[in-house]
Chain A
């Protein structure tokens, strides 16, 4: 488990991290969410000692992270960093060697990743000749080259096409299933929702919401109802404690204030005709995110 314990960091009086605390369990893909300036990148950089924290610490398996542990960490920073004049193979092999992977194993692993990630141009392609998407895939390969136990990825899916996203997602899922700790930040909430088991939402340097995606999106007040004879849902008009939230192919989406309102909605539907559907529905992660962020006061904090 990776623990962020009361991390604080300020730049010129602005709190980038304000006692940020959360834990990332091993064996699952964990999403780190938050608007720009929430402190995600600062928190990730603090793992590797790339910034000096004012206070707080990051622990791995209950202990402070030292140079030895960091050799088992993989990092993909938000700003892409590659040597433009090197070939993909040389670049990946070099990074693997810096992580103490023997030369032969480093080369084999690099070739394997180039193939898995379908980096066009192959291992001999010069990095400066790669497209943005292929550079991104190379960057992902660089983070995975030494088969790390902990993987920290800052916006790994930005500028990837849908096919690349699927490939990278598959690799990260495999990694997590093998027991690795995978933490990644993203603004692509729809992608996170179907991909992560748990998330932490940061705002203004603090964690404002964290937990399993399933639990966070669960809702007792969101319902979908569909009546064969009244697909437009006119039977819902004027019902006390019932608000309409639009419709989709499943039927009319409503939000009820309490159990009484839910019962009134069901009775109205039954009176209107044949009830084809009456069920609880989940909130989207976008809604959860918006509510969590809006509930915190807006005072400047920075990534």
Chain B
């Protein structure tokens, strides 16, 4: 008897569930429908047939971090847009090991698995350079690059310096007084921070905090003097006077439209722009036709005002690089930065 009752309740619950989810799904339908013909009718007349010929496909976009971060948000905004091109993209979160576990997983998939990795140079180049992560960038085929989060250097409220030059001057005048809070130690972020403020020339303390939120908290509480964090996290605090953003470290453009008044680090003659852009990668041997189709969709997305807006709100710039350009960008990082990073890492590991 009881078993039956329980089963009945389970079934009822399932029904309620599916009703609920359907109710949720019904809403988007009317909104999406008018959008599609509009867009395609206006611009893509000749291509529309080509699009129609292609059947809908389903792909998985693997994100190496938990849901909710900027990495995940950028993938979700992109996945939402992919639907307009007949590409049903599911975002799969596989957090662990700074995204390397997810990348390892994707690298071991067969090329026809329709599984793609959403990754930046930190995952693809810096982590494998720091130790064996079970994969390298050469286990992947690039699709395209679409998003580039902006990071920045901020200082605590009431700090006695105005810009980067002042800060450097201040550290020179007051050795050992300034504390820089960064995101972790012995990783790419730490490497970049030390490219910006060279510890061999400047006497300051670097402390590895746990992430962007932690850096923001410590800057606001004035436990550190300078911090390395994402521009999106820093902006509201900057506007409220809880901290001051000094420079951004964006690599693809000099000024971020989110805060155009903030200079780029390169404007102070410091060659330490952060290679942080996110690109889509398939396992080696992925069908070139599929790659082209995805890349084409991404190139159109990059001009979509809604996506640009969404990315800006999340502290990223929408910037498209095609398949070859993406590969060249990553190869450039591999050739120019990775050897320096390895050297720096050796030197860092020798410190105690």
A binds B: no
User: Which residues does B use to contact A, with CB under 8 Å?
Assistant: none
